[in-house]
């Protein structure tokens, strides 16, 4: 983490600028030498994230992100946020591509805390807890194989769960994974077979 604090790979219909390098304005100013523009024009899709000295991550064999064609992703934009200015930088990612079909499609599911309807403070431990949820409303199957926790400097533990009703109408919670976001922000493997379906939370 001497140079890059974290990196995000975005899929865009159009990049935010025609420049090779520009200031996305998301964290701090990159200085007067760079044009200021958004990462993407239109809605960006986060494909990959790395942070805090995490090790390399490889998708499982036969899994890939679908880009190009009618996917809405015509450009890949790598956003790099720096902890401090330290001269030359060789941060980046390596990508393998194919025009053939792969057995399974990867995607990145991000939960952001812009609205926090379920926030509470434990008076005894002085810990604040934030909860968010979304219902899977598409007729798809999701098989989580890895997760990554990122809270900048604010969090101590991030947990991901899938919640589904059993035959008696009771909510059954299954832990996907949890990690301290202050550790290297690697993709942690999900060490069990979980299938998320339409109607699950």
Contact predicate 52/188, CB 8 Å: no
Q: Is 154 annotated as a binding residue?
A: no
CB contact burial 20-54 (16+ within 10 A = b; e otherwise)? eebbbeeeeebeeeeeebbbbeeebbebbbbbbeb
Q: How many Å apart are CA 15 and CA 18, to the nearest integer?
A: 7
171-176 long-range Cβ contacts below 8 angstroms, 24+ apart: 176/144, 176/147
Q: How many Å apart are CA 1 and CA 139, to the nearest integer?
A: 40
Question: Which are the contacts of 101, defined by CB distance < 8 A and separation ≥ 6?
Answer: none
Tokens of 17: 């600028």
Q: How many Å apart are CA 24 and CA 29, to the nearest integer?
A: 8
Q: Is 81 annotated as a binding residue?
A: yes
Closest CA to 14 of 56, 44, 48, 59: 44
Point out the annotated binding site.
Answer: 5-6, 81, 150, 152
Point out the annotated binding site for Cu(2+).
Answer: 5-6, 81, 150, 152
């Amino acid at each position: 983490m001497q140079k890059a604090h974290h990196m995000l790979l975005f899929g865009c219909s159009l990049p935010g600028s025609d420049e090779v390098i520009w200031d996305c304005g998301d964290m701090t100013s990159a200085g007067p030498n760079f044009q200021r523009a958004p990462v993407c024009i239109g809605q960006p899709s986060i494909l990959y994230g790395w942070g805090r000295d995490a090790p390399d991550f490889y998708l499982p064999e036969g899994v890939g992100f679908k880009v190009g064609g009618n996917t809405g992703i015509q450009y890949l934009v790598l956003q790099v946020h720096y902890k401090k200015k330290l001269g030359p930088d060789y941060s980046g990612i390596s990508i393998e591509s194919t025009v053939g079909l792969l057995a399974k499609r990867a995607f990145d599911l991000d939960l952001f805390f812009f609205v926090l309807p379920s926030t509470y403070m434990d008076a005894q431990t002085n810990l604040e807890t934030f909860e968010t949820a979304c219902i899977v409303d598409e007729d798809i199957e999701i098989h989580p194989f890895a997760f990554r926790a990122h809270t900048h400097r604010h969090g101590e533990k991030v947990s991901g769960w899938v919640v589904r009703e059993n035959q008696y109408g009771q909510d059954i919670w299954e832990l996907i994974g949890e990690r301290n976001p202050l550790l290297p922000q690697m993709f942690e493997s999900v060490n069990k077979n979980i299938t998320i379906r339409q109607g699950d939370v």
